[in-house]
Amino acid sequence: MLSNSLVELDRAHLIHPVASYRGHEKAGVRVLRSARGATVTDGAGQQLLDGFAGLWCVNLGYGVESVVEAAAHQMRELSYATGYFSLGSEPAIRLAAELAERTPGDLDHVYFTLGGSDAVDSTVRFVRYYQRARGKPEKDQFISLEQGYHGSSTVGAGLTALPAFHAGFGLPYDWQHKIPSHYLYRNPVGSDPQAVIAASVAQLHAKVAEIGGPERVAAFYAEPIQGSGGVLVPPDGWMKAMREACRALDILFVADEVITGFGRTGPLFACADEGIVPDLMTVAKGLTSGYVPMGAVFMTNHVYDTIADGAGAAAVGHGYTYSAHPVSAAVGLEVLRLYEAGVLENGRKSGRRLMEGLASLADHPLVGDVRGRGMLAAVELVVDKAARTPLPAASEPARRIFDRAWANGLVIRAFGNGAIGFAPPLCATLAEIDAMVERTRRTLDQTLEDPDVRAAM
Ligand code: PMP
C-alpha cells in the first residue's frame, strides 16, 4: 500500500538523475528501505548484496553506528559553521590536517566541497586563477579523455565525455578538448601496454599543438581508472607517463579520484599505485562513504602559494555556504578512522577475491573482457569474442542486465554497451564476494537466453 503510493508520488514529483524521464515514469521507482554492511533491503523486503556500494560511494558499508554517532554528536554540538569571515570548526580543520598527512607528496592544501561535481568545478576555477596568477592568462584551454567522467556541473559535464551529458545542453565549451581513452580492450593501437601509453602521450602532445601549443593549455584531467566510462583500467605506467608529459608541456595534471579515492583500488589514493603526485586532486564519495555529502580538492603547496600570492590582499572569490560543513567533516574523520582500523585491509583482501572470481567468468560465452583493480572491476559482454562485438542495443543491456541481477539478489552497474561494473563496499566478506560472483554468473546465463542477444550471436 505504502509502497504503491510512494511510486505514484515519485512519478508525479521527483526528478531522477541521469534517467529517461518518460522511461522512469513507466518503470516506476524501486524504493530502498534499509541497509547494513554490504546488504540493502528494498521496499518489497528483498535483501540484495550491493555490488556497487550505492553509486561507488559506500566504501565503508551501510549503517555503521559510530558514524551515525559522530554525525549526531556534531549536530548537537555545532550543526553548522561557515568558513567565510575566517571562521571555522574543529572537525573541518582536523579532517584537513589528517588528509594532508595522507595525500601523495605535498598535496597539503584542501578545499572542501559538497560532492564530486563541485570539486571538479572548483579545480577549473583554481586552475584558471593559478595560470593568471603566474602571468599566463592565455593558458585557458582544458583537455580530458574520451570515456572520461568529471561530474555534472555545467563546466564538469563539458569535461565529461559521455554524449548524454552534452546533447541538448550546449556542451562542451569550445575551450574543452578531448583525446582518446586508453581503453585497452578496444584501442585501435592494440593492447600492448607500451604502445597504448606511447599513443596517449603522442595524442596529448598532438592535441596541445592543435590548440595552439603549451602556452594555450591550462590543464589535463584524468581518472586513475575511468569509472562511468565503463571501468577502463589503464596499463601500468600510463598515469606516470601522462603526469610526466604534462610536466614537460607545462600544463597542470588534475587527477580525479572521486571514485578511486579512499581504498577503492587498494591504497587510500590510487595515485599511490603509480607513485605520482598530481598538481590537483579531487575526491568525494568514499570521503564520507556516502553517509553525508562531501567532496574535496587538494592542491600542492606550489599551486596554493601561486594562487595565494597572486591574490595578495584580495579575496579569492570562490566559496559555498556548505564548504567544509562540520557534520560532513565529523563523518569524514570517523570514516577515515574506520578505514584505517581494518576496512581498507579487508577491501584489499576481498578485492583480490573479487578479481579471482570475475576472472573465473572468462569462460562464459558472453564474457569478452575482465578488468579491474582492488574493489573496482568490470566484465564486458560481447556476442562474438573474436570480433569483440558488443551486445546489440535491442537487448537493452543497461536495463535488462540490471533487472536480472536485481532479481538474483545483486545490485550491479549495467552499462549501455553491455559492461557490468562492480564496486562493492570494502567491508564485504569473502563469502559475500563469492555470492556476488555466483549471482553474476546466473545473470550471465540468463542474458545468454535473451532472444535479442541470441539473435545477434
Ligand atoms: N568525478 C568522477 C570521476 C566521478 O565518478 C563522479 C561521480 N560519479 C564525479 C566526478 C561527480 O561527483 P558527484 O556525483 O558527487 O557530483
Position 216 scores a pLDDT of 98
Domain annotation for the chain: domains and CATH numbers: 31-64+340-454 (3.90.1150.10), 81-324 (3.40.640.10)
Q: Is any ligand 1 atom within 6 A of the Cβ of residue 224?
A: no
122, 113 contact by CB (below 8 A): yes
Position of cell 554490504? 38
Q: Is any ligand 1 atom within 6 A of the Cβ of residue 421?
A: no
Mutating to test ligand 1, I would choose from 145, 254, 259, 271 the residue with most ligand atoms within 8 A of its C-beta, which is 259
450 three-state secondary structure: coil
306, 298 contact by CB (below 8 A): no
For residue 452, report the distance from its CA to the centre of ligand 1, in Å.
Answer: 33
412, 402 contact by CB (below 8 A): yes
C-alpha cell at 188: 585501435
Q: Is any ligand 1 atom within 6 A of the Cβ of residue 287?
A: no
Q: Is any ligand 1 atom within 6 A of the Cβ of residue 229?
A: no
Position 1 scores a pLDDT of 45
ipTM of the complex: 0.99
- For the chain, the residue count is 457
Q: Is any ligand 1 atom within 6 A of the Cβ of residue 151?
A: yes
Using CA atoms, how far apart are residues 122 and 337, in angstroms rounded to an integer? Answer: 27
Q: Is any ligand 1 atom within 6 A of the Cβ of residue 290?
A: no
Using CA atoms, how far apart are residues 259 and 281, in angstroms rounded to an integer? Answer: 12
C-alpha cell at 295: 567532496
Helix (H) or strand (E) holding 372: strand 367-373
Return the closest-CA partner of residue 172 out of 181, 190, 187, 159. 159
- Per-residue pLDDT tens, the chain, 457 aa: give them: 456 799 999 999 999 999 999 999 999 999 999 999 999 999 999 999 999 999 999 999 999 999 999 999 999 999 999 999 999 999 999 999 999 999 999 999 999 999 999 999 999 999 999 999 999 999 999 999 999 999 999 999 999 999 999 999 999 999 999 999 999 999 999 999 999 999 999 999 999 999 999 999 999 999 999 999 999 999 999 999 999 999 999 999 999 999 999 999 999 999 999 999 999 999 999 999 999 999 999 999 999 999 999 999 999 999 999 999 999 999 999 999 999 999 999 999 999 999 999 999 999 999 999 999 999 999 999 999 999 999 999 999 999 999 999 999 999 999 999 999 999 999 999 999 999 999 999 999 999 999 999 999 9
Closest C-alpha residue for ligand 1 atom 13 = 116
442, 360 contact by CB (below 8 A): no
Q: Is any ligand 1 atom within 6 A of the Cβ of residue 115?
A: yes
> Measured at the alpha carbon of residue 187, what is the angle toward residues 181 and 192, in degrees to the nearest 5?
110
For residue 149, report the distance from its CA to the centre of ligand 1, in Å.
Answer: 7
Position of cell 564538469? 156
| Atom of ligand 1 minimally distant from the CA of 156 | 10
Using CA atoms, how far apart are residues 269 and 283, in angstroms rounded to an integer? Answer: 9
213, 181 contact by CB (below 8 A): no
For residue 392, report the distance from its CA to the centre of ligand 1, in Å.
Answer: 28
For residue 450, report the distance from its CA to the centre of ligand 1, in Å.
Answer: 32
Rounded alpha-carbon distances, angstroms, from residue 77 to 67, 73, 95, 262: 15, 6, 17, 27
C-alpha cell at 398: 543497461
